[in-house]
């Protein structure tokens, strides 16, 4: 069965940008290859993300399926993520620099990496390319494999590909997760407060 992101129901309380509303994180992708130019375009969007003091602490290793770099990234993933990410046309590995140039802790570096990936995600969606970000990475193995210095921390990996693909390409236990009837999100009243924070919200 072929899947497209337009088949996923999107319910927002207010009208938001289509590239945000239509975004979905699939575990299957169309067989369409991703070119280096497309990857460079996506990363160029990330390049222009805001960061504290313009330090731009993000770092990305990227590889296209069939390349040695792709295989090296794949080898750093958890077994669960390997089981489906192996079908992605491209993979990223993300890290951030933990310190400033003066050797002090950059408290906002992880926040800045998130802003970077927000730009990356939006640009990819604009091109019709889906991202699935993964926490399941052997961080120390990846840091050693790609020769990151001590002041860097490997955080996530990302699978990239055009929307589509055959659900039978997934392990059987993941197929039901790939066809959600609805995408759900916590309502705003649970995480936004016009005044003091109120704990123990009921979702």
Kindly report the CATH number assigned to the domain that includes residue 137.
3.40.109.10
- The domain of 56 spans 25-165
* 3-state secondary structure (DSSP) of residue 43: helix
**In this predicted model, what pLDDT tens digit does every residue of 153-178 receive, in sequence order?**
999 999 999 999 988 888 888 888 77
The whole-number average pLDDT for the span 106-110 is 98
The reply to whether 10 falls in a domain is no
The reply to whether 117 falls in a domain is yes
User: What pairing do the DSSP bridges indicate for beta strands 129-134 and 90-97?
Assistant: unpaired
End-to-end CA distance of the chain, in Å?
Answer: 34
The reply to whether 178 falls in a domain is no
The reply to whether 16 falls in a domain is no
Buried residues in 47-64 as b, exposed as e (16+ CB within 10 A)? eebebeeebbbbbbbbbb
Q: What's the structural domain count of the chain?
A: 1
pLDDT recorded at residue 8: 57
pTM score, two decimals?
0.91
**Element at 6 (helix H, strand E):** none
pLDDT recorded at residue 84: 95
The whole-number average pLDDT for the span 127-135 is 97
The contacts of residue 112 (CB under 8 Å, 6+ apart) are: 49, 50, 51, 52, 55, 56, 57, 58, 96
The reply to whether 200 falls in a domain is no
Average pLDDT, the chain: 91
The reply to whether 160 falls in a domain is yes
The yes-or-no verdict on residue 72 having pLDDT over 50 is yes
């Amino acid at each position: 069965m072929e899947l497209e992101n337009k088949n996923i129901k999107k319910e927002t309380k207010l009208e938001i940008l289509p590239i945000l509303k239509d975004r979905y994180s699939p575990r299957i992708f169309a067989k369409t290859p991703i070119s280096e130019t497309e990857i460079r375009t996506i990363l160029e969007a990330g390049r222009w993300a805001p960061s504290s003091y313009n330090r731009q602490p993000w770092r990305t290793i990227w590889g296209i399926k069939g390349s040695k770099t792709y295989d090296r990234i794949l080898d750093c993933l958890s077994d669960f993520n390997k089981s489906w990410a192996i079908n992605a046309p491209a993979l990223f590995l993300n890290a951030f620099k933990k310190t400033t140039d003066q050797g002090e802790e950059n408290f906002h570096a992880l926040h800045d990496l998130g802003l970077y990936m927000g730009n990356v995600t939006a640009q990819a969606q604009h091109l019709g390319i889906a991202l699935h970000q993964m926490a399941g990475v052997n961080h120390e193995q990846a840091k050693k494999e790609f020769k990151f210095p001590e002041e860097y921390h490997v955080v996530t990996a990302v699978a990239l590909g055009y929307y589509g693909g055959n659900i039978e390409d997934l392990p059987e236990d993941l197929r039901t997760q790939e066809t959600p009837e609805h995408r759900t999100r916590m309502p705003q009243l649970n995480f936004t407060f016009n005044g003091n924070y109120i704990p123990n919200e009921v979702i």
